[in-house]
């Protein structure tokens, strides 16, 4: 299993290519549904992060999904955060934790009160 290879690529496009190869290998094994699904998500996240970096001029790559959502909330990309939440089917509990932490971080007392 050489998913790690993809991390060695500095360029996002070639990383995604590597992950797609890994995905193919995983798909051949019936017991690897989790790996298939997660690698798929990983590719999707990288694409979204790349887009976000272009739009916001901020670093998003290397962040995990939760961290990405957290960062979106902090820089005011609330709509994007909600989209990520539904797209990756984030459990409600985790999403509220992320949101709560983001509100604290940005000193959004009003938001905290309405929480």
Partner 1 sequence: ANSSDSSSSFSTTILRDFARKELIDILDSIRGKKSLVIDPTISGSLSLIAEFSLLKEHGVENIYHLQPGRFNIQCQHLVYICRPKMINMKYITEHIHENSNNPDNEIQYYIYFVPRRTMICERVLEDVGVYGDVTIGEYHLDIVPLDDDLLSMELDNSFKDLFLDGDMTSLYYVAKALLKLQTIVGIIPKIIGKGKCANYLKDTLFNLRRELEANHANSISSIPLFPLNSEIDSLIILDRSVDVITPMCTQLTYEGLIDEVYGIKSTFVELDSSLVGLTQNTANISHKLKKIPLNSNDKLFSQLRDMNFAVVGGILSQVARRIQDDYEGRHQVKTVSQIRDFIGKLNNLRAEHQSLRLHTNMTEEIRKFTLDSDFNKFLEVQQNFIAGITSHNLVEYIEEMINNQQPIEKTIRLLSLLSSVCGGIKAKSYEFFRKEIVQTYGYQHIITLDNLSKVGLFKKHDKSKNTYPSVRKALKLIVDDVDEHSPNDISYVYSGYAPISVRLIQCACLLSNSKSMPLPSTTSLFNPSSILSSNNTTNNYDDNHSSSNNNTNNSSQSNVSWKGCEEILKLLPGPIFEEEQPVINNSIYLNKKNQNQRKISLVLFLGGCTFTEISSLRFLSQQEDIQRDFIILTTDIINGNTLVDSLINQVQDEIKSLTTLNYS
Residues that bind partner 1 (CB under 8 A): 1, 3-4, 7-8, 10, 34-35, 38-39, 41-42, 45, 62, 64-67, 88, 90-91, 93-94, 97-98
Cβ closest to partner 1, residue 56 vs residue 88 = 88
CB 73, min distance to partner 1, A: 14
4 Cβ contact list (under 8 Å, min separation 6): none
CB 84, min distance to partner 1, A: 10
CB 94, min distance to partner 1, A: 5
Q: What letters, b where the CB count within 10 A reaches 16 and e where it falls short, cover 33-67?
A: eebbeebeebbebbebbbebeeeeeeebeebebbe
Cβ closest to partner 1, residue 57 vs residue 64 = 64
Query: What number of H helices and E strands is found in the chain?
Result: 7, 0
């Amino acid at each position: 299993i050489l998913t790690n290879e993809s991390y060695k690529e500095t360029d996002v496009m070639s990383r995604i290519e590597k992950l797609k190869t890994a995905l193919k290998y995983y798909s051949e094994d019936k017991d690897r549904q989790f790996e298939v699904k997660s690698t798929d998500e990983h590719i999707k996240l990288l694409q979204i992060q790349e887009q976000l970096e272009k739009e916001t001029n901020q670093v998003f790559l290397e962040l995990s999904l939760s961290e990405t959502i957290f960062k979106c909330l902090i820089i005011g990309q609330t709509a994007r955060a909600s989209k990520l939440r539904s797209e990756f089917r984030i459990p409600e509990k985790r999403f509220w934790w992320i949101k709560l932490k983001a509100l604290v971080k940005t000193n959004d007392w009003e938001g905290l009160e309405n929480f």
